[in-house]
Amino acid sequence: MKKILDRFNSLNVAVIGDVMLDIFTYGISERLSPEAPVPVIRIFKKEYCPGGAGNVAENLAALDVKCSLFGVVGADIDGEKLSSCFKSGNIGTYLFKDASRPTTVKERFVANQQQLLRVDAENTKKIDSNIENFFVENISKLMQQGKLNALIFSDYKKGVLSTQLVQKLIDCANANHVITALDPKPGSLDIVKNLTVLKPNRTEAFALAEMKDDLFASASVREKLLLEAARKIYEKYTPEYLVISLSADGLAIYENGRLNIIPTAAKEVFDVSGAGDTLMASMTCSLASGGCIMDAAQIGNIASGIAVGKRGTSCVSRNEILNSK
């Protein structure tokens, strides 16, 4: 594992997708409002950090990977706050300002160590074709010049990624030996083919396979259902690797018609915010560093297990992965 992680600082990875501003508003709640049966929160702190594709970039930077981030923000104060959040020298930001839409914001209100409410501000319409063309041209140029080892698509169904954009970049990546990875959101994209890694969670996997899961079935029946869903996804999308995150049950890797289950590495779950981004970043970099899919999944599993033990949208460093037990 150390050999793979030691190669991370030589990697260049691009991320394209839905960037957002995560706001964590912390307070104390000791009573209910006299106006409605809701808690009153007395605020003592606010934290601002990049979410969505921005969190993937932050995770790459924490792993000592050089990253180019492509996304869209509004011409507003939230866009300025988001841009100022990127302090790492490992992240180059290419954030297109679109005055026709607000910066996507997710604000979470936390009191007494419990999240009580999340408020979203967003516009999920598809981006204009001129913005899409800007992204395709610039990322394709980086790949053709040999300046990228991997490309991560971060889809939160906020309008930046289209089927056409993703497929064009996949085709260019394959022609230039660049690894591609997508964490899909059902209903956001049509079928895109020939990714290196397709990584849905269990719920997303059943939606992609157009199947119903059975939450109350036995473990053996649930595994058979998951295998059937994986086969359908693999036949439709033809990725090189299909990895399905199973939350507390770990990861499932579909390979040669079989499922290999890696149990979760999490010791304690405090907050799942952004853990999927941590998994995607660490797993993709492990593949780009020459690891096999099982090595990459093991490293990603360890990293996401560390992330869920932290408060808020958190990143995981190479040293944390190396020192995990």
Give the CATH number of the domain where residue 170 resides. Answer: 3.40.1190.20
Determine the distance from the C-alpha atom of residue 172 to the mean position of all C-alpha atoms in its chain, rounded to a whole number.
22
Mean pLDDT of the 208-237 span: 94
The neighbour count for residue 181, using CB atoms within 10 Å, is: 28
CA distances in angstroms from 79 to 34, 71, 123, listed in the order given:
36, 11, 14
Q: Does residue 38 form part of some domain? A: no
Q: Percent of the chain scored above 90 by pLDDT?
A: 80
Q: Which residue has the higher pLDDT, 82 or 324?
A: 82
The predicted structure's pLDDT at residue 201? 92
Q: Can you tell me the distance from the alpha carbon of 3 to that of 304, in angstroms, rounded to the nearest whole number?
A: 20
Percent of the chain with pLDDT over 70: 95
CA–CA gap between residue 68 and residue 244 (Å, rounded): 26
Catalytic residue check, 171 = no
Neighbours of 257 (CB within 10 A): 9
DSSP assignment of 52-83: EHHHHHHHHHHTT-EEEEEEEEESSHHHHHHH
Q: What is the mean pLDDT of the chain?
A: 92
Q: Beta-strand (E) ranges in the chain?
A: 12-17, 19-32, 39-52, 66-74, 91-98, 105-111, 114-121, 150-154, 179-183, 197-198, 241-245, 251-255, 258-262
pLDDT-derived band of residue 264, with 50, 70 and 90 as boundaries? Answer: confident
Q: Per the domain annotation, does 34 fall within a domain? A: no
pLDDT of residue 69: 97
Neighbours of 105 (CB within 10 A): 21
For 36-59, write each residue's pLDDT tens digit: 999 999 999 999 999 999 999 999
Q: Which of 185-189, 223-227, 269-273 shows the highest mean pLDDT?
A: 223-227
Catalytic residue, chosen from 64, 98, 183, 277, is 277
Residue 127: pLDDT over 70: yes
In a domain, 32, yes or no: no
Considering only residues 298 and 325, tell me which one the structure prediction assigns the higher pLDDT.
298
Residue with tokens 């957002």: 20
In-domain check, residue 124? yes
Question: Residue 270: its pLDDT value, please?
Answer: 46
Residue 33 falls inside a structural domain: no
User: What would the pLDDT profile of 270-288 be if each residue is shown by its tens digit?
Assistant: 445 557 889 999 999 999 9
Q: In the chain, how many domains are there?
A: 1
Torsion angle of alpha carbons 14, 65, 193, 205, nearest 10°?
Answer: -120
Residue 36 forms part of a structural domain: no
List the domain range (segments joined by +) for residue 13: 2-27+43-323
